[in-house]
């Protein structure tokens, strides 16, 4: 696997034998931006680890409305895919690439084996679940205790860290991520533009706030 160097870079501290097993059994996928790589109800046959790019995780209701949960970045794993893989369940979430992404799929048959065989893998799985739980708590806290102005600023600052100051997101996409309406987001963005925080373009904007 040519991408083994990326595995070593983003997932340090694994046993050498485990790196060798990942090289033999892992499957690399290169996925364009905007691709739905996992749908709700889809069978999961492998765990997903991120080597390059950003993947967004959403919850969907029965009408197909989306609620943004969290992002997965290089060095992180989709804990939902790991949990469903262990239990041999179908996905309860939708995963979509925000940017072009390179992911590493670990087939089902190796998950239990590695959990008992490699201490580093056991620690990685537990940490992944704990990190996702903490992110969900932060999301709930933001919804419960912050107004939309504050949430929007925090959201944009998070996107700047991932994509730089030129953010290629529409107001509707931001509204979906924040469980708001496009009209509310557009109004707040215009307010930020008036304050000299952003420069708004068609389907993108630049964050210029110091």
Q: What is the pLDDT of residue 2?
A: 66
User: How is the beta sheet containing 101-107 ordered, strand by strand?
Assistant: 27-31, 101-107, 46-52
Distance between CA atoms of residues 166 and 159, nearest Å: 9
Say how far apart CA 113 and CA 94 lie, in whole Å: 27
State residue 112's pLDDT score: 80
* The predicted structure's pLDDT at residue 120: 95
Residues 45-54: tens digit of each pLDDT: 888 999 999 9
The span from the first CA to the last CA of the chain, in angstroms, equals: 42
CA distance 19 to 208: 42
The full set of domain ranges for the chain reads 4-143, 147-207
Q: Which residues contact 193 (CB under 8 A, 6 or more apart)?
A: 199, 200
Give pLDDT, residue 17.
Answer: 96
Q: What is the pLDDT of residue 87?
A: 65
Residues 4-143: name the CATH superfamily: Jelly Rolls (2.60.120.10)
Predicted local confidence at residue 179, as pLDDT: 83
Low-confidence spans in the chain with pLDDT less than 50: none
Its CATH architecture, for the domain 147-207, is Orthogonal Bundle (1.10)
């Amino acid at each position: 696997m040519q991408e083994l160097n990326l595995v070593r870079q983003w997932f340090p501290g694994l046993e050498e034998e485990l790196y060798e097993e990942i090289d033999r059994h892992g499957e690399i996928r290169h996925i364009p931006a905007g691709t739905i790589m996992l749908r709700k109800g889809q069978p999961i046959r492998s765990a997903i680890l991120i080597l390059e790019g950003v993947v967004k995780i959403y919850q969907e209701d029965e009408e197909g409305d989306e609620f943004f949960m969290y992002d997965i970045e290089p060095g992180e794993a989709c804990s939902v895919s790991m949990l469903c893989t262990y239990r041999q369940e179908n996905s309860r979430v939708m995963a979509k690439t925000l940017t072009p992404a390179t992911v590493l799929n670990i087939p089902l048959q190796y998950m239990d084996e590695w959990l008992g065989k490699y201490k580093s893998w056991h620690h990685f799985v537990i940490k992944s679940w704990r990190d996702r739980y903490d992110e969900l708590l932060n999301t709930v806290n933001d919804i419960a205790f912050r107004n939309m102005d504050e949430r929007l600023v925090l959201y944009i600052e998070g996107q700047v860290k991932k994509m730089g100051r030129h953010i290629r997101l529409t107001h509707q996409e931001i509204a979906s991520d924040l469980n708001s309406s496009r009209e509310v987001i557009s109004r707040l963005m215009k307010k930020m533009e008036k304050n000299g925080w952003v420069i708004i373009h068609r389907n993108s904007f630049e964050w210029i706030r110091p």
